Copies of this chain bind each other. A is one copy, B any other.
């Protein structure tokens, strides 16, 4: 395909695949798309290893990294790491204990996932810089920042390395701010997307962002998991699409068996935008976890980010273990970030096949539009 994005990034088909799984990233890139590794939970050493693994498999084809660095790098947070969990109020700690007991989750506390371990490190100057440094030592074609405007340090380093910076936005206002902060590509993400998301739908948001930041290229995110949806996004003026949810049920994804079954069975009504997982509104599978936090009688209400994230990750690690051994209560609680397209995901496919089907359905959708208008 020929869009400005395709030429600038050397990608054949402007389908960007956001995934925490290196196998998905490599598979999509090798199929003609553009894999983007979500490095939120990685240490610099781990990130280096993952990117080396990808480099060895994609033969120079383009891929990128999403680092979720905070917009402002706070040097005073250096000593925060060890004490972050101490800031969680007893009420909230007790509510989680109560929830786990109520749903019979008796898996032992798991080593807190890398998220908790890394979060403190990354809000510090050296931590964030280390991640960006590692990413830029690899032949990446894009570096993305999922929360807030990219920090000036990141923009400066990426510029020097000749790597374009992408930034996710949910409003026109944020799009303008991101471009002013140096973003080379804007990802306009509608409310139907999984993860942290705003209120405006993709159909409404994308054309407004395209017009507001032109000639900066825009990728559309949210509600896109098929070739028809990709064609729709491009009709709105996007130069490509950014998909996350659709990869969760691919063969390559490291999705746990219990969660995968839940995703395959879910309808588009089964997601909710809730603060219960991270402290900020994030769309995820509706579950006993989101229901208890958001409408339970005894809920103390979610904390802010990052405390709610740490609390939730610790509990979710235990819930995941119990769910995978089939405990009924844990299966009710288990959840993950996913968009409304979850209702379309009904079978496990290789990531490569998802790309190929999108390419073919995209072509059919454009052809159908032509048939409607040709006289």
Contact surface of A with B, Cβ cutoff 8 Å: 1-3, 171-172, 190-192, 199-205, 207-208, 222-224, 226, 228-229, 231-237, 267-269, 339-341, 343-344, 362-363, 365-366, 368-373, 375
Contacts and interface: CB of A to CB of B under 8 A. Distances in A.
A268 B203 contact: no
Main secondary structure of the interface of A (DSSP, over half): helix
Contacts of A371: 2
A229 B208 contact: no
Given A228-B235, A236-B232, A370-B366, A201 B207 contact: no
Contact of A268 (B200, B370, B372, B375): B200
A207 to B, nearest CB: 5
A323 B116 CA distance: 52
Contacts of A207: 226, 228-229, 344
Contact of A372 (B1, B224, B267, B370): B1
Contact of A366 (B222, B269, B373): B373
Contact of A203 (B172, B229, B375): B229
24 contacts: A1-B372, A1-B373, A2-B371, A171-B268, A190-B201, A190-B203, A192-B201, A192-B204, A200-B269, A203-B203, A203-B229, A203-B233, A204-B268, A207-B228, A228-B235, A228-B237, A231-B235, A231-B369, A232-B233, A235-B365, A235-B368, A237-B365, A362-B373, A363-B373
Contacts of A192: 200-201, 203-204
A45 B373 CA distance: 41
Contacts of A233: 203, 232
Given A369-B366, A370-B366, A201 B191 contact: yes
Contacts of A375: 2
Contacts of A368: 234-235
Given A3-B372, A236-B228, A369-B234, A201 B202 contact: yes
A235 B364 CA distance: 9
Given A226-B207, A228-B207, A268-B208, A369 B201 contact: no
A270 to B, nearest CB: 10
